Structure 1
Amino acid sequence: MDRYSDTLLDDEAVDEDSSLNITESAEHSGADPHANLPVYRTIHRPLVDQLYDPEDVSTVYCLLVNRAQFLREQHYQGHLQTVSVTRATLCEILASRVLRRFDEDNSGLAGLLLLANILVAGFEPFQNAPEMIARTRPNALQWPVQKRGGYERKITALEVAIISESKTLLSSSACQKVVDAVYRGQIIYTPLSFVDIIPDHYKHLPISLYNPRKAPILNHHRLIVPRLRNIIEICQFAVLLLFYGLTMVYRDGTNVTSYEAIFCAYASGWLLEEFAAIIEHGWYVHTQNVWSFLDIAFFGIYSTYFMLRTYAAVVQDTDLATSALDILCVAAPVLLPRLAFNLMPDNMLFISLRAMMRDFSVLTLLATWCFAGFFLSMKWLIGTHSDHVIDVPGSATISKWMLWIWFGLDGTGFEHSVDFHVLLGPALMIAFAFLGNTLFLTVLVSTLTNTFAKIVENATAEVHFRRAVLTFEGVKSDSIFAYRPPLNILALVILLPLKFALSARWFHKVNVGATRFFNAPMLLAIGLYERHQLWQAPKNETNRWYKRTSLFQWTFSGFSPHGDIQAVFDIEPPKNVFEGSS
């Protein structure tokens, strides 16, 4: 382009037909000035080939960062919204194709390890930036100051894919291969989190393949395997639900029962774990879980109950204590479905319900805001004509009438509309009924139907996206997750002060020792199970330690008429089967 500019400025070459001659000289020549351009090579060289570098595992991360930026730009650059969305989509497609290229060129366990380094290794956007740019970067105080051994401010490509909702990439076979390996614990690594309540970053576990037969029998790192954490969390929630039921059955407004005391201690520890999960990877990532809105609802209900119950115990107010227990009763519609969400996180009904609850909440808040004017009009009208009304309705009564009209439950508000004003009262009620009951509910149903249809249409991508979120959040960095509720409260009270009193090495020793002590039975069971069941030893292995005992060889397929369908794949076929010889 420079040589073209120089030619135009210096030579001002113009043909006889008054057209500019864009050549290196003003002389007419029969040679094509573009004859040396590699047209054929460019045609047959895809864009992926230009981006793909076998030695650079950060390409996917960089493309996803660009996608996130384009998606952000579309919100405040209205004139470039379509262009930004197109660019974001192109970045996701290129990232998927580059990741697939890595998968195709690298097979086996080595290829799996390479893919894991692409998706769960941490990168920093300002990595190796020019010194001038590095000096003008945003203030480091935007991030919590926690030493992580050189891994500060790093983010993984998998996390960027989640926050940018790159569902095409996350549903690809290469990405799901890594997600599945991390979920099962075949790929192990030290996760990178936003902030930890009890940070212990003395040792950084590199991305590697896990060998259960070479690991210690009490391996505390297995507590952060997503599949095992999912089982642990389900059991923890079942215990919480059990204590909640016992508290409600034996509730007593005059005294705090033993069941209620245990429930309060356990629920407080459970909420502490949920709070740690929120701040570890941020609010946006945590709310991608299908049950996040249920946790938020329970947090609000339990916090209100606990504060009222504590205050009632201090002032010895029996009525207030009974009211606190009444508030706790409202948690039942939240806790019971929560267990179903945990057991079936891939169910399309639950995934759709989460998205529809989000849309429903937004539309309801907007409608309440807009319809608040009707309430104020009626409130002021009844105040003006209160002398002519025998029983003046209060704010609660007016709100109740409007709510009934909104959902079409009762028409009492129409009967009393003349009490506000002979003409204006009925007019306001009719307008509210039309806008609220007819127009708003129609828009609400249409919006929720559209949301459900979109999710069902992309069911596979949605399921893979939720599975990636569950896996990414399941690998915990905070040491507080190693302690079961309510022991995590005790760990917070004891270990956090020790963090400032001990060196990093000794704090790590104390933390690991306490983790293994309190989780010894669980870690022993996990170690024994994985040594026998997880990634079987090579078939030629002669050491009896690697062989399954009769207990682990037992299978129930013999009780099924279709048991041979499963059994035929459990026996390794001889080599002559593959060689075609008899």
Structure 2
Amino acid sequence: MDPEFEGSHCQTQGLLAPTPEYLASVPVFPLIPNLKKDLTGLADTALSWQQLTASDINFAVVRPLVFKYARLENLAVVYACLVVRAHFVSAAESELAYAGVILSRANLCEILAMKLLGQFASSKIQLVAVLTASWSPLAGASQEIRNQVKVALGGDENNLNEDQCALEMAIATKAKAFLSSPVVQTVVDDIYSGRVVFSMPAIRSVLADNYKPRAIEIYDYRKAPFLDHYRLRVPKYGAILEFLKFALLLLTFILCLSSQDLHRMSNFEIIFVVFAIAFTLEEYTASKEHGWQIYIANMWNVFDTAFIFIFLCYVFLRVKGLVQDDALASEWAFNVLACEACILFPRLAFFAIKNNIIVIALRGMIADFVFFMGIAAICFSGLLFTLHTLAGDKWSVRGIAWLMVQIWFGNTYLSFGQASSFHPVFGPILMTGYAALSGTLLLTILISILSNTFARIDANATQEYLFQFAIATIEGVKSDALFSYQPPFNLLAFAILWPASLFVSARTLHSANVFLIRVTSFPILVAIGLYERFFTGDKGLRESGKDAAQSIYNSLPRQLKNMPILDALMGANANDVYDALFDVDFEQHETQLFFDESDEEHRLPELHSLLSRDTLRHRRPLSPSSGRGSTSPLRESHSRQRSPSLPRRALPPMIQTSVSAEVPSLSKQSPLAKLFTPHSIRQRATSQFDGSPMQHIQQTDATLKRLESLLEDARNLPVNRIRDEMKELQERQARIETLLMTLTRGMRNESTHVARHGTIS
């Protein structure tokens, strides 16, 4: 095959998306033990991230591994690196003695994954396939290996089909540097905005619709149907719909609490319960789709989980109150439900400030606060038991615990006022010690911990935000059919399609699913279709409206244009001028800054070599027709066509003699300088081609004689005198060094003699 054709064929193949058959045939398992072996042998020292990314480690360790595994051209190598990282991270938690070394290997896996991902960055489709294709860790393994893994998992065959993509593995292993790298964020941003379309196989879904799995492709609204139900799974549109969903849920929640009835359910309460159940089903489906580890990594899902827990407590108490006609249980149910406001209001407000550093650091600070409070409660449980034993029947456990909580949060007066009620001797001692520990020492430690947590997250704020953004994007691309329905229509779809999936074919289930999605989400699909065709496609409507507004603004008087409001709306005039500069069509001669190369008078100096006498003697004579006009027609044409708008500038007298880059000298030029100036060289070069051959020889002989005379003059220059002076200086230096050596030798002999004389005496 022709190499050129073969190269173009490979390039064309690289632009196409990998087929599902090809992805299924990629061997994944052989990569995992080889990567583990190489990384274990190379990294045997605890190194920080800065040390691992240093140039010496990069060239000595990382680059050889990158070249070794890049030759395989295996799309699953990035996924395999992250699988090995997951192994090292879990091993570091169990082997604390070698945790530093093992974490260094885990970080090295992340660095290697980032480097190997750059090998696939030349093709956008291939890059997306590396990050989003679902890989099985046992692909390419022998049947014996599969049986051993099956036995280790308890003999369940379904556990062997836990396929994941590289992005999911990066989230599970908290590879924040990998996820925040520009190459990964390019793909994540394309997935979030819907420019890249793909679908994961629904394996762990509540309602799976795998009849038509979509291959990886670049979305084009011209080829897609107007009512494209797959656009409901785009994370960008999902975020907008999620905001509207929470706003509607908050509205029904407020209406439910405003119309409380202890003996029966009101209409607003029924609507709220339906929306809350639909929301619970959606969150349960999301946690099952990607797994609890990825679901809980999103800090917003922590709020959603707390909302579901409080709602289930409300449902339990409310059902008990209605069935048993217990007004107290119903009252407690509404009291518990009122606590939902502590979650719903901030959850909705955080949509506007979700990129703020305080919001990003909130999850880590809450986790550290809860952990520290738990440790403190365990530590002070012994004091609680001691005080209860000393007080006897005077204090209950609940009363002592509440008193300790008040003292913990700053009410130290109670520790001194109630101390003697526990015991006249030990009571004041114990309560004073507890007040000192809780109010001073432990509270200071808590503030320090939260400050360090905030400072750590603030230093990596961009990385933490991109990590959360990647989690939200992957969660938005869900394959479960229920995610295409907005609450409360997902309850209707679940009630109809889930029983039907048990006995109908996959084609029938897919057709019914598409019909229900388009019916229940018809206004949303119409809005998305219009938006993508008239606002994000060719941007015709938006650009035409902007141009019309700009023309109206330009037609206004100058006094109105300078109004601050209009200037803020339309933009500053200076920016318009700067933008317009690059929209103007200009000719080349209008912007020509430097002269043409044919302009000999202003050309930069070049290195010329004079023809030797032998060369001139053996050179064939030029024909009369090959004179100056025939040898340089291009130069003459350029000089004639030069624009008259750019006249030649007259150079100062001191600079006209030389156009070199050297600083011009004000002194008189030497004979050699006069000889080798560009002007004199050019004169001699042009004069060589004028006249007859005899004239050429005569001119050459004259030039050589002139050179000989110049060399004779050069012999009389003060170079020889300078050389003699330098030789004399060297001789003087040698004599001075000899004299110094003699003097120091005498001093050394004298000191030695004195030392010996002192020893003898």
Shift of 1:247: 1.9
The alpha-carbon deviation at position 334 of structure 1 amounts to 1.2
Match of 1:62 among 55, 65, 80: 80
Aligned partner letter, 1:323: W
Is contact 2:535–2:542 with CA below 8 Å preserved after alignment?
no
TM-fit CA distance, 1:404: 0.6
Tell me which moved more, 50-59 or 121-130: 50-59
Report the CA distance shift for 1:44/1:285 in structure 2 as closer, same or farther (over 3 A): closer
* Cα 1:42/1:475, change in 2 over 3 Å: closer
Cα distance, 1:568 vs. partner? 8.3
Give the corresponding residue for 1:461. 463
Q: Say yes or no: does 1:416 pair with 2:418.
A: yes
Contact 1:182 1:471 in 2 (8 A): yes
1:126 aligns with 2:146: no
C-alpha spacing 1:143/1:191, structure 2 compared with 1 (3 Å):
farther
Contact 1:54 1:102 in 2 (8 A): no
Alignment partner of 1:296 out of 305, 310, 326: 305
What is the aligned partner in structure 1 of residue 620 from structure 2?
none
Deviations 1:356-387 (A, max 9, x none): 0111111112221222222122222222xx3x
> Residues 370, 568 of structure 1: CA spacing in aligned structure 2 closer, same or farther, 3 A cutoff?
farther
Contact kept? 1:234, 1:343, Cα under 8 Å: no
Matched residue, 1:205: 214
54-63 or 355-364: bigger deviation? 54-63
* Length, aligned pairs only: 516
Q: 1:579 to 1:364 in 2, by over 3 A?
A: farther
Tell me, yes or no, if the aligned pair for 2:198 and 2:217 is still in contact at 8 Å. yes
Q: What letter corresponds to residue 503 of structure 2 in structure 1?
A: A
2:401 aligned partner:
399
Choose the corresponding residue for 1:48, options 61, 66, 71. Answer: 66
Please state whether the residue corresponding to 1:155 is helix, strand or coil. Answer: coil
Contact 2:201 2:213 in 1 (8 A): no
Q: CA deviation at 1:563?
A: 5.9
**Residue in structure 1 matched with residue 93 of structure 2 by the alignment:** 75
In structure 2, which of residues 250, 258, 262 is the aligned counterpart of residue 253 of structure 1? 262
Residue ranges of structure 2 left out of the alignment (5+ in a row):
1-58, 554-565, 592-761
Higher mean C-alpha displacement, 502-511 vs 151-160: 151-160
Does 2:327 align with 1:318? yes
2:448 paired residue number: 446
Q: Greater Rg, structure 1 or structure 2?
A: 2
Instruction: Say whether the 8 Å CA contact 1:290–1:345 is kept in structure 2.
Output: no
> 2:124 is matched by which residue type in structure 1?
L
- Give secondary structure in 1 for the equivalent of 2:139: coil
CA distance in 2, matches of 1:476, 1:272: 14
Q: CA deviation at 1:438?
A: 2.6
Q: Does 1:92 align with 2:110?
A: yes
Distance in 2 between the 1:498 and 1:296 partners? Answer: 30
Write the mapping of 1:87-486 to structure 2, written as runs, cut at 5 A.
87-103=105-121, 106=122, 111-138=123-150, 145=158, 152-192=161-201, 195-383=204-392, 386=393, 392-486=394-488
- Change in CA separation of 1:168 and 1:499 when aligned onto 2, cut-off 3 Å: same
Q: In structure 2, what is the Cα distance between the partners aligned to 1:42 and 1:352?
A: 37
Query: More deviation in 466-475 or 424-433?
Result: 424-433
The alignment partner of 1:500 has SS state of coil
CA separation in 1, counterparts of 2:585 and 2:72?
37
1:523 and 2:525 equivalent?
A: yes
**1:561/1:224 Cα in 2 relative to 1: closer, same or farther (>3 Å)?**
closer
Deviations 1:24-45 (CA, angstroms, capped at 9, x unpaired): xxxxxxxxxxxxxxxxx99996
2:619 corresponds to: none
Structure 1, unaligned stretches of length 5 or more? 1-40, 387-391, 538-546
Alpha carbons 2:83, 2:169 under 8 Å: kept:
yes
Q: What is the rounded CA distance, in whole Å, between the counterparts of 2:226 and 2:467 in structure 1?
A: 34
State which drifts further: 243-252 or 479-488: 243-252
TM-score (norm. length: structure 1): 0.82
What is the aligned partner in structure 2 of residue 544 from structure 1?
none
Which one-letter code corresponds to 2:138 in the other structure?
F
Shift of 1:219: 0.8
Instruction: Give the partner amino acid of 1:533.
Output: F
Larger relative CO (CA 8 A, sep 6+): 1 or 2?
Answer: 1
Match of 1:499 in 2: 501
Hey, what's the Cα distance between the residues in 1 that align with 2:62 and 2:511? 58
Q: Deviations over 1:466-524 (max 9, x none)?
A: 11111111111111112221222222222211110211121111111111111111112
Sort the Cα spacing of 1:322 and 1:512 in 2 relative to 1 into closer, same or farther, 3 A. same
1:342 partner SS: coil
Do 1:144 and 1:194's aligned partners in 2 also have CA atoms closer than 8 Å? no
| CA distance in structure 1 between the aligned counterparts of 2:481 and 2:379, rounded to whole angstroms | 46
- Over aligned residue pairs, what C-alpha RMSD do you find? 3.0
- 1:540 is matched with none
Is the Cα contact below 8 Å between 2:322 and 2:330 reproduced in 1? yes
With over 3 angstroms needed to count, the CA separation of the structure-2 counterparts of 1:579 and 1:168, relative to structure 1, is farther
Cα deviation, residue 226, structure 1: 0.5
Higher alpha-carbon deviation: 338-347 or 275-284: 338-347
Shift of 1:570: 9.5
- Write the deviation string for residues 534-560 of structure 1: whole angstroms up to 9, x where unpaired: 3439xxxxxxxxx54887667877643
TM-score normalised by structure 2 residue count: 0.63
Q: What is the SS of the residue equivalent to 2:469? A: helix
The change in CA–CA distance for 1:203 and 1:421 in structure 2 (over 3 A counts) is same
Indicate the residue corresponding to 2:599 in structure 1.
Answer: none
Between the aligned partners of 1:565 and 1:128, the Cα distance in structure 2 is 62
| CA deviation vs aligned residue, 1:222-273 (integer Å, no higher than 9, x gap) | 1110001011111000100111122223333344222121111111111211
**Could you tell me whether the CA contact under 8 Å between 2:196 and 2:218 is conserved in 1?**
yes
Distance change >3 Å, CA 325–CA 264, structure 1 → 2: same
Cα offset, 1:142, TM superposition = 8.1
**CA distance in 1: counterparts of 2:402 and 2:461, whole angstroms:** 40
Equivalent position amino acid for 2:78 in 1: V
Q: Judge conservation of contact 1:381–1:420 (CA < 8 Å) in 2.
A: yes
Q: Which moved more, 1:48-57 or 1:233-242?
A: 48-57
User: Is the alpha carbon distance of 1:115 and 1:43 closer, same or farther for their aligned partners in structure 2, counting shifts above 3 Å?
Assistant: closer
How far does residue 324 in structure 1 lie from its aligned partner after superposition? 1.6
Encode CA deviations 1:439-478: one digit per residue, 9 max, x unaligned: 3222211111111001110111111111111111111111
C-alpha distance in 2 between matches for 1:578 and 1:83? 64
